[in-house]
Structure 1
Amino acid sequence: MEQQVHFTTLATADLDAARRFYVDGLGWRPLLDVPGEIVFFQIAPGTVLAFFEAGKFAQDLGRGPARPAVSGVTLAHDVADRDAVTALVDVMVAAGGTVLTPPEEGAFGGVFHALVADPNGVVWEVAHNPGWSVGADGTVHLG
């Protein structure tokens, strides 16, 4: 198996709230939006993030009407500097997000970051990491 992920799909209890947060609040453009079911966003070349209505997500997994919850997962968005961390947190809050950790020095690796939950509890880390970069060929460099 090649070392790559093309889709990340998250069960979402309130798909309309997710749509309002990402589309209306953050200005993301859906790749495909099926009302009442799923919304897909292309987040990088060849990579899609999807929010799938939780009941339909469970049905797709063959688990009936149980509503799976997102747990032990964060999505991270790196920005150019510390001020950009604070600015993006402000945008996310205005879009309906909840600050879990305000912008602060991280405990690891010189990162300045904040944690914000979307309306369905998906946790985003907004960070400035001076050790993070992406080369012209798309290769990620850490440290």
Structure 2
Amino acid sequence: MDARVTFITLGVRDLAATRRFYVDGLGWEPAFEAPGEVMFVRVGPAVMLSLWDRAAFEAEIGATQTGPGVPPVALAHNMPDEAGVDRVIADAAAAGAEIVALPARREWGGYSGYFADPDGFRWEIAYNPGPLGVELMRDAGLA
């Protein structure tokens, strides 16, 4: 098996609210939609974010973890500079995201902040000036 991810699937409570957040709020373009069931958004050349109605998700995969706390997953979106991090965090707040950590310089040498989408999934928005961060921005055509 190759080391590769092509879909990241999140089971969401309210697909309509999730669509409003990502499409109407953040301006992302769906690549595929089955209303009330699932929506795919291309987030990389060969990567889709799949936002799947939780009931359908559980019917196929099994019961999801419940209870208080943060879902045990975080997604990251890197930017080529600190100003880009600030801009994305502001855009997410305007779209209705809960800002859970304002952008700040981190001990690992970068700059990042976090927001939560309507289901509480955490997004890290980061500027990573290290070699791997520079490589990722170059590969994304942003450096």
TM-score category of the 2 structures, normalised to the smaller one: 0.7 to 0.9
Percent of aligned positions with the same letter in both sequences? 36
Aligned residue for 2:114, secondary structure, equals strand
Classify 1:136/1:57 alpha carbon distance in 2 versus 1 (closer, same or farther; 3 Å): closer
Find out whether 1:38 has 2:38 as its counterpart: yes
Structure having the larger proportion of residues in helix: 2
C-alpha distance in structure 1 between counterparts of 2:126 and 2:82, whole Å: 8
Mapped contact 2:80–2:137 kept (Cα < 8 A): no
Find out whether 1:81 has 2:85 as its counterpart: no
Mapped contact 2:11–2:57 kept (Cα < 8 A): yes
Tell me the amino acid that sits aligned with residue 60 of structure 1.
E
Alignment of 1:42-53 (within 5 A): 42-53=42-53
Tell me the amino acid that sits aligned with residue 53 of structure 1.
D
Mapped contact 1:79–1:127 kept (Cα < 8 A): yes
What do residues 36-91 of structure 1 show as CA deviations (whole Å, max 9, x unaligned)?
Answer: 10000111111111000001100011x3xx45567221111111211211111110
TM-score computed with the length of structure 1 as normaliser = 0.86
List runs of 5+ in structure 2 lacking aligned partners: none
Aligned residue for 1:93, secondary structure, equals helix
Tell me the amino acid that sits aligned with residue 10 of structure 2.
L
C-alpha distance in structure 2 between counterparts of 1:119 and 1:19, whole Å: 10
TM-score computed with the length of structure 2 as normaliser = 0.86
Aligned residue for 2:90, secondary structure, equals helix
C-alpha distance in structure 2 between counterparts of 1:41 and 1:3, whole Å: 21
Aligned to 2:99: 99
Question: How many equivalent pairs are there?
Answer: 135
